[in-house]
Structure 1
Amino acid sequence: MKNLCYISLLLFGMLGHAQTALYNSGNIRIHNQGQLGFHTDLINDAAFDENVGLAGFYGNDQIYVSGAFVPTFYDMEIANPTGVLLQTGINNLNNTNFIVGDFLTFKNQTDVSYTFLQDAFYTGDSDLSQVDGYAAVTGQSSFTFPVGDGVQLRPLILRSESENPVAKCAYFFENAGSPTSISESFDPAIKSKVLGGVSGTEFWRLQGSVPSTIEISWNERSDIAALTDDVTTIMVAGWSKAENQWVALSPAGGTGDLTVGFVASDSFIPDDYEAITFATLDVPEDFLDLENYIVSANGDGINDILMIPELLELSPNNHLRIYNRYGSLVFDQVNYTDQFKGYSNVDNFVIDREQGLPSDVYFYIVSMDDLGLSFQGFLYLTR
């Protein structure tokens, strides 16, 4: 560790936390090659954002950072086993060196975070040193959040389609149905039909407005064996704000074993979901074979349209193809809802197209992209 200039100024009581504090009212700056070590609290009540040296938090007593302004440091370092509690955030311009101890935030206050700015990165994150609370990133499209619960590092890997104006993440080693650190709850029993089980052991909260994919990993403490004995059924699930339930954010297909592994999501907008965790695919056996369907396109209001309720409910991202008995494609629809009414919508040669397809037996293939499943069957068209 580098030799630092340790500064301790003025005596303040902070919300019942009695120890000396460095009070910045606008006359402190870390110059090039400068080094400032904190063994005391920081009360930052003025701009503290033109720093180019190293700022470190050291000692054995927990340090508080508070004040009206968020300080911005160039290089950061933490070597304090009891941690640094952020009552106001910290911005990092360049590198954060995690040695020992955590940057802590209150998990019910999403506006306070340890924020990595556009070119910022970090080293040394581990079970001994992480962000226990909200870590944030600005101006970056790919980032691994060094978050955990103070006992284990539980990172979330974010890959976005473009740079994030801001994205935030926190990890909770708590049952999402009855968390202790936030007032909201997300009952694992309230879920879409495609989900067999939802983890009650841990979850992440992720904020961001840019379409993104994520990767999350499990370890022995995640208790994946309580969910499934087959890692290929593991998927990412999110608590949908629109649906107020857990929904699938990826096809099934975890990698690893029941002790250690990871799973990746499809693209989604983080702000549309309250929480993220592991779930399993559980499609009942009687659903695995879609039915053979009858369409009587005669205008009597009964079976005039091909309806496949499972597509709307379980896999809005789908692809339906219908073929005649000779193998010619007569209907092709991405994200099918209720478009087939007995008429062809493709350019293949179809006799008397305006009269509709003739009464006959047809063959269909449907892919349920949200589930990673495909089915085929017969369609009986009558008039």
Structure 2
Amino acid sequence: MVQTIIGIKLMVLLYNKLIIMKEKIISSIIMCFVIAVKAQTINTGTLYISENTLISIHEDLFIKDYGAITNDGDLYVFKNFTNNGKFKFSNNEITGFTSFVGNDNQTISGKGTSSFMFVEFDNQSADLAFNLNKEIEIVGTTFFENGILKAEENGMVTYLNGATNTGVSNKSYVNNKVQKRGNESFTFPVGDYQSKIFVPRMVTISAPSDPTTNFYACFNWEKANLDFDKKEEDIGLIDMNEFWEIQNKSNDELVALTLTWSDVTTPEDIYSDPSKIIIVRWNGEEWIKEREGISIDVSGKSITAKVSGYGVFTLACEKKRGTIDPVIDFSVSNSFSPDGDGVNDEFVIPDLAENYPKFKMKIYNRYGNVVYEYSNNNELNPTWWDGKSYGKLTLTGETKVMPAATYWYVVDFNDGKTKPYQGWLYLNK
């Protein structure tokens, strides 16, 4: 079948009077009125893109309040997409492919309803190529190729029953929140970035029973404003570097949750012994361990557990050693400034060596990498951190001055009875 190709360009008035539809609606006549002005393609009427028809729009596409586009063919959008009307596909169709493609950053916005059957994101202009300022619905498959979809405050990708996604990589995913409606298991294509390092950190839920269930998932690769010293007794080191927020917005049904660990975002101490990995949840007062339905897939770098509630989740490792709290006041040691002026140039924890002479300490940067590691051997004057990373802890093997930033640390009191402590510190310059 020969394809009908319609090129819509600047300052061209296209008035499409007749479109031949499928046999069951062959008698229908759809009037479409499309105007291109001032580097915009403005849709004010009804445009139907039939199967085996391709439309390529090289200027901004703007669907006005009473405008509508039904796409059962192939639509390529090279610039911004603003929909204040309706964008959809025919309910009886399994075609309808929309591709956001180009070499310039693209914004997807508007107050209208946007429902896609198949959608592709393939823009090589920048890592954060797509700014999503509205909710879009996906019914079929999302093809992630190039360009990260940044979900702004009003932006949301919502997947319906039967929807899937493919091609998720550090080149293309949703940053950083996604919704799923339905009663199927689903993997959320979420991720985050820091300092031009982009990572997908997908999370999977098992199938809920109610087809109207609405799940929300968000991933954050940053410091959380939570107390990591408040935790159940058998929880050891908690991953203070990455957090998944999972919410069931419809009911109280509990599902199984699958998280993965990554050598980019997860501290090595968490997964060095995969048999001890656990999923923990902040219940509003303390971190608790998810204890039911535990399954660890070492080759897939994942752990599954049935949740006991919803909220903020992360990874941790089991550690039963230590039953009492430390006698140190860590609140006086939350910042230092290694600027060489002789004042507060080192990260010092007062009374630590006196009370726990064999303590061990690790300090991590925001990527989960160890930047300082020290074991004290009954020394009353320990070697405190001076804000530099040494030897094998750096990529070059040379001394490296660390930037002003928030770091987190773990103190192992190494006395067989005191629970390890982890906290935040700020390196100021």
TM-score interval (norm. to shorter)? 0.5 to 0.7
Secondary structure, counterpart of 1:201 in structure 2: coil
Percent identity between the aligned chains? 21
1:154 partner letter: R
- What is the aligned residue count? 262
> Is structure 2 residue 77 aligned with structure 1 residue 38?
yes
Do the aligned partners of 1:44 and 1:70 also contact (CA within 8 Å) in 2?
Answer: yes
Query: Could you list the runs of 5+ residues in structure 1 that have no partner in the other structure?
Result: 14-18, 177-184, 288-383
Pick one of 131, 134, 156 that aligns with 1:88.
Answer: 134
1:137 Cα offset (Å):
1.1
Task: Write the distance in 2 (CA, Å) between the matches of 1:220 and 1:143.
Answer: 24
1:256 partner letter: V
Pick one of 222, 238, 244 that aligns with 2:285.
Answer: 244
1:286 Cα offset (Å):
6.2
Task: Write the distance in 2 (CA, Å) between the matches of 1:268 and 1:7.
Answer: 54
Secondary structure, counterpart of 1:232 in structure 2: helix
Aligned to 1:23: 62
1:42 Cα offset (Å):
1.5
Query: What is the correspondence of 1:335-350 to structure 2 with a 5 Å cutoff?
Result: none
Closer, same or farther in 2 for the Cα pair 1:220/1:228, shift >3 Å? Answer: closer
1:159 Cα offset (Å):
0.4
Closer, same or farther in 2 for the Cα pair 1:136/1:264, shift >3 Å? Answer: same
RMSD: 3.0
Aligned to 1:375: none
TM-score (norm 1): 0.61
Secondary structure, counterpart of 1:205 in structure 2: strand
Query: Could you list the runs of 5+ residues in structure 2 that have no partner in the other structure?
Result: 10-35, 41-57, 325-429
Do the aligned partners of 2:89 and 2:96 also contact (CA within 8 Å) in 1?
Answer: no
Task: Write the distance in 2 (CA, Å) between the matches of 1:153 and 1:50.
Answer: 29
Do the aligned partners of 2:123 and 2:146 also contact (CA within 8 Å) in 1?
Answer: yes
Aligned to 1:216: 259
Task: Write the distance in 2 (CA, Å) between the matches of 1:4 and 1:129.
Answer: 29
- 1:131-182: CA deviation from partner (whole Å, max 9, x where unpaired): 1121211113300111112522211111033145211212222222xxxxxx
1:227 Cα offset (Å):
3.9
1:55 partner letter: T
TM-score (norm 2): 0.55
Pick one of 163, 173, 182 that aligns with 2:221.
Answer: 173
Secondary structure, counterpart of 2:113 in structure 1: coil
Task: Write the distance in 2 (CA, Å) between the matches of 1:43 and 1:207.
Answer: 29
Task: Write the distance in 2 (CA, Å) between the matches of 1:79 and 1:187.
Answer: 40
Aligned to 2:414: none
Do the aligned partners of 1:138 and 1:166 also contact (CA within 8 Å) in 2?
Answer: yes
Task: Write the distance in 1 (CA, Å) between the matches of 2:6 and 2:264.
Answer: 41
1:226 Cα offset (Å):
3.3
Do the aligned partners of 1:10 and 1:23 also contact (CA within 8 Å) in 2?
Answer: no
Aligned to 1:99: 145
Aligned to 1:154: 201
Closer, same or farther in 2 for the Cα pair 1:3/1:92, shift >3 Å? Answer: farther
1:122 partner letter: N
- 1:320-340: CA deviation from partner (whole Å, max 9, x where unpaired): xxxxxxxxxxxxxxxxxxxxx
Aligned to 1:188: 228
